[in-house]
Amino acid sequence: MIIINILHIIITCALLLPRLTFSLRTLTYAESNLFPVEFDTTIDGTAIIRLQQRLPNSQCAESRVIMRYILPNGVLVSNDVDFQFDPINFCPVDRIEIHPLIGKFSLLSYLNSTNPGSTGNVLVQYAAMIINQDGKVVQNNFPPLNAPFMSNMSAKAKIVSNSNGDVLWTFKADNNDSITYVKFSTQRLNSAIIDPITPPTFMIAVNGIFQTSTDLELQNYTTFSTFYGHFAIVFTARYGTSTVTTSQLSAFCTFLIAETNNLIDHPLIIYNPNTTLTSLEIMKCGESSFEGTAFKCLLTATQSIGNSISRTQVSFLLTGFITKTNSIPIGNTLTNSIKTIFFNPLYFGGYLQRIYLNSSEIIGNIFDINDNLKGNWDLSFTNVNFSNIVINGGTNGDDGGVGVFRNNTVILVLGDGGNGVSWSVVTTDVIKIYNPSQPLINPNIASTSLSINATAPQDTTPLSITFSKPISLSTGNISIFQFISSSNNLNSGSLLRQTFSGNSTFCTLDSSKTVVTITILQSTFNQPKSVYFIKIDDGFVRNMATDMALVGVVDGFWTILTNSATAYIKLSNDLFNILATNFSQLIPQFLSQIAQVTPVSLTRLSIPSNFKFASINSTQNDLKILIIIGTEINGEVRSAKVISDLDTLIRNRDISPVGMMNLTAGIDKNFGVQWNCEYF
């Protein structure tokens, strides 16, 4: 593996900062005879680029999968995938596809020829592997894909993944009205520790064949995943009987439901024009926004009479209810100059529309969820040659080579016009429709009782989340993890501290249907000087108006800090009065004895500087004293373990050293040690 440290201000700012004082940025990498052919992005802000090395005087490429990863910190990681691929994947056309998975892993699909050297139709086996960012193959024993995943190369295969780490692989043979599908789910390990370097293991969750009704002739199709974890198959079909007179071509959608792995038997009609069409093409389908409004499909229809072209967007819900059907807003763009149109939901509200022109230019428009134009992206067409853009890439491998990060930064990967001397990364920031008063945790969250990097109480204080719209609680989980470190002080994973679903008894919704209160277990934030993060699954809550699942919060983003641990012990009346009579001298002795019996470094123990004994001969209600246990020193046990051990020693003082010291012997054994339930 070669790691090139490119901590260049341009790319670092492009990937990390939410908003810059300049917009258009270009960074060029000089690499001889390497051509970008595929591009995608991950939720954590990593750009994944695949390059090819062309053979001399040929459009074929060497049998290598050449990878580049631009990490969120700006570092460029370069390597080849350590595997011998069949040359059929690189000649005469490229057959490799890369699909990001959870963590630092990707799914790589490829072909194996079963009759090499054949001069006719080459029979191929569709195959897949999991690779990491070091170029290593971490799983190649992917569950076998049987017929018809063994076919000629003209068949259509599509792969899409979701935020849960599931993968849907679909396949349609030529002149066939059926779609074969298989869903792979990540095998969940029975462990509370999530290790980022442990690869996912897949198992087949469900497989089957989707067959259209006898009166439909399937034309083309696409797939997409939803925030909740459902998969959708959208297809166009021609009515093959004379009984249907309203239209020859229509668009349909069916869903593979996440909870049951059942495919909806009867497809939903999402577009049924009242005119006869020559063709109906699907440009793009998916979630229309992060705000739980609807799914959306962009369609291109060619009329039978006059061959006129119309472009329509259809918004619909999981039930099949059509919320809106209208012409795609294209501003002042001439309709006959348009090649295709894509869209990306924006984390700060609305969506980015990208119009690809026949002239190889791209127009980028920003709309709100009501299709009101809010602005354009800032890309200088005079400085960037868009004819060299990596068109193959992005979701489903056909999303126009443009990625959108969750800080509203757009990223493109460009070649150099076929010269093979360099390739470039171009980034720009697009306007933010939603600008919250506190750092954005989620586009649907107005405020929280714990903001990003807030210091949490080490107690059971509930967490409250206020949403910007009425919601209902759902089956997605809200979880709290603690970052854990290895001996070299590097992050080596995360430890689950608590997790439950939105519709559990640990979550309540107020009368306004906007404020969710979440129970925090006393043990959750019990490690001082530690970093935690709150993860919210997609579908933890739903938009009450549409019943659409709302997007959650990804791993490691909503971080929470803890301070030194504090806990109460209770003193006997005699000990309390003894300490009160000579506070300045006896308190250090008292803490010293606690340090000896635990044992723990005395320098870690203290009481608040503003603490005062109420009075001599105090009543039993005033006998608690607050102890501060500081951060561990030189490998000592954590503060939470100190409190736990001390509690055991005190409750068993009759047989422990606590009862043998003149001062600690006066600690109330029935009270033990109890966490402080106030902010530190």
Residue 606 has a pLDDT of: 87
Counting Cα atoms < 13 Å in the Cβ hemisphere of 512 gives 9
d(CA 151, CA 128): 15
Contact 482, 532 (CB under 8 A): yes
DSSP letter string, 352-412:
EEEEEETTS-EEEEEE-TT--EEEE----TTTS-GGGB--S-SGGG-STTEEE-TTSEEEE
Measured between alpha carbons, how far is residue 120 from residues 112, 115, 152, 155 in Å? 16, 10, 10, 15
> What is residue 54's DSSP assignment?
B
> What is residue 333's DSSP assignment?
-
Residue 454 has a pLDDT of: 81
Confidence of residue 667 (pLDDT cuts 50, 70, 90): very high
Contact 606, 665 (CB under 8 A): no
Alpha carbon 26 to chain centroid distance? 26
Residue 386 has a pLDDT of: 54
Beta strands in 187-267 (DSSP E): 193-194, 202-211, 216-225, 231-239, 249-256
d(CA 125, CA 517): 51
Confidence of residue 486 (pLDDT cuts 50, 70, 90): very low
Of 548, 467, 544, which Cα lies nearest the Cα of 294?
Answer: 548
Write out pLDDT tens, residues 213-224.
Answer: 878 888 899 999
For residue 15, pLDDT beyond 90: no
Residue 488 has a pLDDT of: 40
Write out pLDDT tens, residues 297-309.
Answer: 999 998 877 788 8
Alpha carbon 441 to chain centroid distance? 13
Residue 676 has a pLDDT of: 65
Residue 528, preceding peptide bond in cis (omega within 30° of 0)? no
d(CA 464, CA 462): 6
Q: What integer is the mean pLDDT of 109-135? A: 79
279 CB-contact burial (10 Å; exposed 0-12 / middle 13-18 / buried 19+): middle
Which of the residue ranges 96-110, 384-398, 491-505, 514-528 would you say has the lowest mean pLDDT? 384-398
Task: Find the Cα–Cα–Cα–Cα dihedral 210, 212, 213, 216, rounded to 10°.
Answer: -170
The set of residues, in sequence order, having a beta carbon less than 8 Å from that of 370 and lying 6+ positions away, is: none
d(CA 398, CA 283): 9
For residue 553, pLDDT beyond 80: yes
Helix (H, G, I), strand (E, B) or coil at 113: strand
* Cα diameter, the chain: 102
Which of the residue ranges 138-142, 344-348, 513-517, 589-593 would you say has the lowest mean pLDDT? 138-142
Helix (H, G, I), strand (E, B) or coil at 169: strand
For residue 511, pLDDT beyond 60: yes
Helix (H, G, I), strand (E, B) or coil at 584: helix
Counting Cα atoms < 13 Å in the Cβ hemisphere of 657 gives 10
- Torsion sign, CA atoms 164, 103, 502, 510: negative
d(CA 80, CA 423): 17
Contact 375, 431 (CB under 8 A): yes
d(CA 255, CA 498): 31
One-letter amino acid for residue 48 of the chain:
I
Confidence of residue 458 (pLDDT cuts 50, 70, 90): low
d(CA 340, CA 358): 9
Pair of tokens at residue 195:
């290790």
Question: What percent of the chain stands above pLDDT 70?
Answer: 81
Alpha carbon 362 to chain centroid distance? 27
Residue 556 has a pLDDT of: 80
d(CA 443, CA 521): 27
Helix (H, G, I), strand (E, B) or coil at 415: coil
d(CA 488, CA 293): 46
CATH T-level topology, domain 445-561: Immunoglobulin-like (2.60.40)
Question: What percent of the chain stands above pLDDT 90?
Answer: 35
Question: pTM value?
Answer: 0.76
Other CB atoms within 10 Å distance of the CB of residue 174: 9
Of 181, 263, 206, 252, which Cα lies nearest the Cα of 230?
Answer: 263
Q: What are the structural domain ranges in the chain? A: 445-561, 565-675
Contact 285, 296 (CB under 8 A): yes
The set of residues, in sequence order, having a beta carbon less than 8 Å from that of 102 and lying 6+ positions away, is: 163, 164, 165, 186, 200
Residue 485 has a pLDDT of: 59
Residue 140 has a pLDDT of: 84
Pair of tokens at residue 150:
């063994």
- Torsion sign, CA atoms 139, 140, 143, 145: positive
Of 326, 413, 335, 402, which Cα lies nearest the Cα of 364?
Answer: 402
For residue 415, pLDDT beyond 90: no
For residue 148, pLDDT beyond 80: no
Segment (H or E) for 503: none
Of 34, 15, 17, 138, which Cα lies nearest the Cα of 76?
Answer: 15
First vs last Cα of the chain: how many Å apart? 46
For residue 43, pLDDT beyond 60: yes
Pair of tokens at residue 339:
């090649």
Measured between alpha carbons, how far is residue 669 from residues 44, 384, 422, 652, 666 in Å? 49, 75, 73, 7, 9
Write out pLDDT tens, residues 167-194.
Answer: 999 988 777 888 989 999 877 555 566 6
Of 296, 179, 169, 156, which Cα lies nearest the Cα of 226?
Answer: 296
Residue 478 has a pLDDT of: 96
For residue 393, pLDDT beyond 70: no
Counting Cα atoms < 13 Å in the Cβ hemisphere of 10 gives 15
Which residue is it, tokens 């309709």?
335
For residue 457, pLDDT beyond 70: no
The whole-chain average pLDDT of the chain stands at: 81
Please give the backbone phi and psi of residue 666, each rounded to the nearest 5 degrees, phi first: -90, 10
Contact 519, 501 (CB under 8 A): no
Helix H segments across 273-334? none
